[in-house]
C-alpha cells in the first residue's frame, strides 16, 4: 500500500479546505527533528508491544536510527541492505522509556480489560473511503473486541493537546478498520483513544456506527471532489482558511486565499488611519467587543506571519531572491570557552579559589524527582523533599469564554464588601 495523498493525518486540512490538496501538491514533505523523534518513540513502542520480551526501560542507552524514508532500527541491528542516509539518531533515555511505557500500559490495559485481539502498527486500506488506488494509513494500535473496535494513537509531541472527540484522523482509521474487519465481527461502535504521555494527556471518545457513516459520506464526497480537480480547476470556493487547516499546510507561505483572508480580517476590524482623523477621541478607540473580535483572530494572524517569515528565510537560505531582502549575520550567541579543559587549567594556574572558579546550583525539584524515580533517593526521602516544593501561581492568561477553566476573581474584596453591605 502506498502513502496516501489524502492522508488521515492531514484530513483535518483537506476536509476543511479541499483546495489545500492541489496547493500542497509537489511540495516535499519536510521532516522535522520533532517528527523524527516521534517516529523513534513509535518504533520503541512497537518493538515492545509486538515482541513483548523487551520493555523500553531495558533498552535505555541504546540508539534508534531514523532513516530519511521514515524507517527505523536499533543502531546495533543495522544491516547493509538498510538505507544509507540516517536522518536522525535518538538515544533511548530514562524519560523516553518512561513516556513510551505510559502508552504501552494503556494498550496493555485495553487488551486485558476487553480480552480483545491486538494489532500493532496496523496498515489499513483507505481506497474504499478516498478512492485513491493503493492508498493506506497505519493505525498505532487496533484492538478488536466482540462488538467494538478500539483505535489507540500515540502522540509523542509536547506541543498542543489533541482530543479524540471528532478527531478526523482517528475517525478515518476507525472507518478503515470497520471495512477491514467487517467479515469477522458485528461491531457496534469505535472507541478512539489518544495518548500524549509527555503532556500527561489521555483523551477518549466513542463514536456509534451512524455517526461514523455520516462522517464517511463527508470523506468520500470531499475526496471525490478533490480527485476531480486539476491545475486548471477554479478553486475559488474551495479555500477555507482557519487556524487548524492552515497551521501545517505546506502552502501557507504563498497561499493568496490565506493572505487575503487575513488582510480582510485586519481591515474589517482596524479602521484606516485616514478615517481615524475624522473621529472624536472616544470614537477613535475600540470598544471591548471589537477588541475581543480582534483577539479571536490572533492565532491565525500569528501563524501566518510565522509561515511567511519561515518561507522567506527558506528561499533566501536556498539562494533564491525575494525582492530586495537579504540574509545578514544575526546576533552572536552567549560567549563560551572554546576549550573548557584549557580554560579550567588556566584558571587553576591563576590560583583562583574553588568558589570563585565554579558555579554551584542546587538541583531543581524536577531533577530531584528523576533521582527518586531512578532509586537514588528513597521514597521517604522524596516525600520529605516534596513537602519543601512550592509552585508559584501562574500569571493570568487570556482564554476564550468556552474554556473549561474558571475565570479568576480579580475583585474578591469588592465582592466581600457587597456581602457586608447587604
Asked if 207 and 172 touch (Cβ cutoff 8 Å), the reply is: no
- 13 vs 59, beta carbon nearer ligand SF4: 13
- 27 vs 348, beta carbon nearer ligand SF4: 27
- 194 vs 258, beta carbon nearer ligand SF4: 258
- 256 vs 348, beta carbon nearer ligand SF4: 256
To ligand SF4, the closest distance from the beta carbon of 257 in angstroms equals 5
To ligand SF4, the closest distance from the beta carbon of 178 in angstroms equals 28
- 45 vs 246, beta carbon nearer ligand SF4: 246
To ligand SF4, the closest distance from the beta carbon of 6 in angstroms equals 14
To ligand SF4, the closest distance from the beta carbon of 255 in angstroms equals 3
Q: CA–CA separation, 239 vs 23, rounded Å? A: 10
Asked if 19 and 257 touch (Cβ cutoff 8 Å), the reply is: yes
To ligand SF4, the closest distance from the beta carbon of 232 in angstroms equals 17
Residues in CB range of 234: below 8 A, 6 or more apart: none
**Cα 111-114-116 angle, rounded to 5 deg:** 60
- 209 vs 240, beta carbon nearer ligand SF4: 240
To ligand SF4, the closest distance from the beta carbon of 289 in angstroms equals 27
- 221 vs 386, beta carbon nearer ligand SF4: 221
- Which parts of this chain interact with ligand SF4 (CB under 6 A)? 13, 17, 19-20, 23, 239, 241, 245-246, 249, 251-252, 255, 257-258
To ligand SF4, the closest distance from the beta carbon of 308 in angstroms equals 11
Q: CA–CA separation, 199 vs 157, rounded Å? A: 8
To ligand SF4, the closest distance from the beta carbon of 260 in angstroms equals 10
- 100 vs 245, beta carbon nearer ligand SF4: 245
Q: Give the count of alpha carbons within 13 A of 247, CB side only.
A: 9
To ligand SF4, the closest distance from the beta carbon of 13 in angstroms equals 5
Q: CA–CA separation, 55 vs 45, rounded Å? A: 9
Q: Give the count of alpha carbons within 13 A of 238, CB side only.
A: 19
- 99 vs 239, beta carbon nearer ligand SF4: 239
Amino acid at each position: 500500500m502506498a502513502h496516501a495523498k489524502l492522508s488521515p493525518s492531514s484530513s483535518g486540512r483537506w476536509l476543511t479546505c479541499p483546495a489545500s490538496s492541489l496547493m500542497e501538491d509537489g511540495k516535499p514533505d519536510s521532516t522535522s527533528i520533532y517528527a523524527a523523534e516521534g517516529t523513534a518513540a513509535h518504533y520503541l513502542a512497537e518493538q515492545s508491544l509486538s515482541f513483548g520480551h523487551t520493555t523500553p526501560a531495558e533498552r535505555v542507552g541504546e540508539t534508534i536510527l531514523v532513516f530519511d524514508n521514515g524507517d527505523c532500527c536499533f543502531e546495533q541491528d543495522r544491516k547493509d541492505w538498510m538505507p544509507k542516509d540516517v536522518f536522525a539518531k535518538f538515544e533511548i533515555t530514562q524519560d523516553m522509556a518512561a513516556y513510551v511505557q505510559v502508552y504501552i500500559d494503556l494498550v496493555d490495559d485495553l487488551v486485558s480489560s476487553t480480552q480483545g485481539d491486538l494489532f500493532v502498527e496496523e496498515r489499513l486500506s483507505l481506497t474504499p473511503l478516498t478512492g485513491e488506488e493503493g492508498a493506506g494509513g497505519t493505525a498505532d494500535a487496533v484492538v478488536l473486541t466482540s462488538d467494538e473496535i478500539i483505535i489507540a494513537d500515540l502522540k509523542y509531541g509536547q506541543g498542543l493537546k489533541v482530543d479524540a472527540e471528532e478527531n478526523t484522523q482517528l475517525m478515518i482509521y476507525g472507518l478503515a478498520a470497520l471495512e477491514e474487519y467487517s467479515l469477522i465481527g458485528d461491531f457496534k461502535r469505535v472507541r478512539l483513544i489518544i495518548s500524549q504521555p509527555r503532556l500527561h494527556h489521555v483523551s477518549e471518545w466513542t463514536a456509534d456506527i451512524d455517526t461514523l457513516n455520516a462522517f464517511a459520506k463527508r470523506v468520500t464526497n470531499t475526496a471525490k471532489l478533490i480527485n476531480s480537480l486539476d491545475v486548471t480547476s477554479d478553486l475559488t470556493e474551495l479555500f477555507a482558511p482557519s487556524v487548524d487547516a492552515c497551521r501545517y499546510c505546506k502552502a501557507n507561505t504563498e497561499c493568496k486565499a490565506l493572505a487575503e483572508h487575513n488582510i480582510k480580517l485586519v481591515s474589517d476590524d482596524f479602521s484606516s488611519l485616514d478615517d481615524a482623523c475624522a473621529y472624536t477621541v472616544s470614537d477613535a478607540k475600540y470598544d471591548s467587543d471589537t477588541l475581543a473580535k480582534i483577539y479571536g483572530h490572533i492565532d491565525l494572524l500569528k501563524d501566518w506571519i510565522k509561515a511567511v517569515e519561515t518561507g522567506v528565510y527558506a528561499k533566501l537560505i536556498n539562494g533564491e531572491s525575494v525582492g530586495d531582502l537579504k540574509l545578514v549575520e544575526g546576533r552572536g550567541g552567549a560567549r563560551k570557552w572554546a576549550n573548557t579543559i584549557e580554560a579550567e587549567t588556566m584558571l587553576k594556574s591563576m590560583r583562583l579559589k574553588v568558589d570563585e572558579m565554579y558555579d554551584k546550583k542546587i538541583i531543581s525539584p524536577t531533577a530531584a524527582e528523576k533521582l527518586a524515580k531512578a532509586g537514588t533517593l528513597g521514597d521517604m526521602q522524596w516525600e520529605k523533599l516534596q513537602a519543601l516544593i512550592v509552585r508559584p501561581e501562574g500569571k493570568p492568561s487570556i482564554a476564550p469564554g468556552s474554556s473549561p477553566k474558571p475565570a479568576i476573581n480579580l475583585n474578591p474584596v469588592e465582592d466581600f464588601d457587597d456581602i457586608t453591605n447587604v
